[in-house]
Homo-oligomer: A and B are copies of this chain.
Amino acid sequence: MPFIHLKDIAAKELLPGFKGKMVHTENMTLAYWEIKSGSILPPHSHFHEQVAAQVISGEFELTLQVETKLMKAGDLAVIPSNELHSGRAITDCQLLDVFSPVREDYKSKE
């Protein structure tokens, strides 16, 4: 399945308000999110490195450790392995997260 159309992937609500379409490869997981305004990403961490909150549309407030930023289109954040992070959708928004290695924990929820 080398060629993929996002419209062919079913979205799953993995957290309240967070609907994601996942693409898993050998070394990476790409997560395309549609998030409802006001939805909360509770503080958490994981050993996977993450390039987070690449905002496609809307606004998302992201907190890394003690720093909080309002993320808009063209913004992204690099979250090292095991770093605590959390967030909140300020508006309805679309984000792309990229993880390495693969999020095996997501696979079991899809």
The residues of A with any CB-CB pair to B shorter than 8 Å are: 1-7, 23, 25-28, 30, 49, 51, 62, 64, 67, 69, 74-81, 98, 100-101
Contact B67 A4 (CB under 8 A): no
A contact patch SS = strand
CA distance A36 to B110 in the complex (A): 38
Count this chain's copies in the assembly. 2
Q: List chain B residues, Cβ under 8 A from A28.
A: 28, 49, 51, 98, 100
Q: List chain B residues, Cβ under 8 A from A100.
A: 25, 27-28, 100
Q: List chain B residues, Cβ under 8 A from A2.
A: 64, 67, 77-79
Contact A4 B49 (CB under 8 A): no
